[in-house]
């Protein structure tokens, strides 16, 4: 299990960044930082260390796959865990992300439980769990 020290959320949609930031605090990250572009994300990554990056695939001018390539080619960043998120349900982007070194792929929109499962698959499960204690039964999370 990897400690959940810090998370970097990269998405060009402000609402998505806000939602992910709120949810990620529930997932027990000590520090959550957001970036509205891959270029901004690289600045954060070079200034501070992160346990996990969750990045949107479809951004401009630099997309999530380009960001992943830069991270994996930089020895100082290569060990950062990476989850690619996208609304694109085609197989090719998911395959490209995994072949480029993404640790996991997340299809939007997703439920909180799916996000938690994906983060657990990459970092290891939380010892005390969190889904059962944070969501009322029947709420559809």
With a cut of 70, say whether residue 97 has pLDDT above it.
Answer: yes
- The residue length of the chain stands at 141
pLDDT level of residue 130 (50, 70, 90 thresholds): low
Q: pLDDT digit string (tens) for 35-71?
A: 999 999 999 999 999 999 999 999 999 999 999 999 9
pTM of this prediction? 0.86
How many domains are contained in the chain? Answer: 1
The boundaries of the domain holding residue 44 are: 6-134
Instruction: Answer yes or no: is 140 within a domain.
Output: no
What residues are paired with 82 via a beta bridge? 53
At residue 8, the 3 state secondary structure works out as strand
At 140, list the tokens.
């559809």
Cα distance between residue 46 and residue 127, in whole Å:
30
Instruction: Answer yes or no: is 139 within a domain.
Output: no
Instruction: Answer yes or no: is 1 within a domain.
Output: no
Greater model confidence, 139 or 40: 40
Domain containing residue 55: CATH number: 3.40.50.2300
Cα distance between residue 67 and residue 10, in whole Å:
10
Instruction: Answer yes or no: is 141 within a domain.
Output: no
Cα distance between residue 47 and residue 127, in whole Å:
30
Neighbours of 81 (CB within 10 A): 17
Q: Are 71 and 102 in contact, with CB atoms under 8 Å apart? A: no
Instruction: Answer yes or no: is 96 within a domain.
Output: yes
């Amino acid at each position: 299990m990897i400690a959940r020290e810090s998370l970097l959320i990269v998405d060009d949609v402000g609402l998505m960044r806000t939602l992910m930031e709120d949810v990620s605090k529930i997932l027990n990250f000590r520090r959550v930082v957001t970036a509205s572009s891959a270029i901004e994300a690289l600045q954060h990554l070079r200034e501070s260390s992160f346990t996990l990056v969750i990045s949107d695939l479809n951004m401009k001018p630099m997309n999530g796959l380009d960001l992943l390539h830069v991270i994996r080619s930089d020895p100082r960043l290569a060990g950062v865990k990476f989850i690619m998120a996208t609304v694109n349900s085609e197989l090719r982007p998911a395959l490209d992300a995994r072949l480029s070194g993404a640790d996991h792929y997340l299809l939007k929109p997703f439920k909180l439980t799916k996000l938690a499962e994906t983060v657990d698959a990459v970092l290891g499960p939380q010892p005390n769990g969190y889904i059962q204690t944070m969501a009322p039964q029947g709420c559809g999370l």
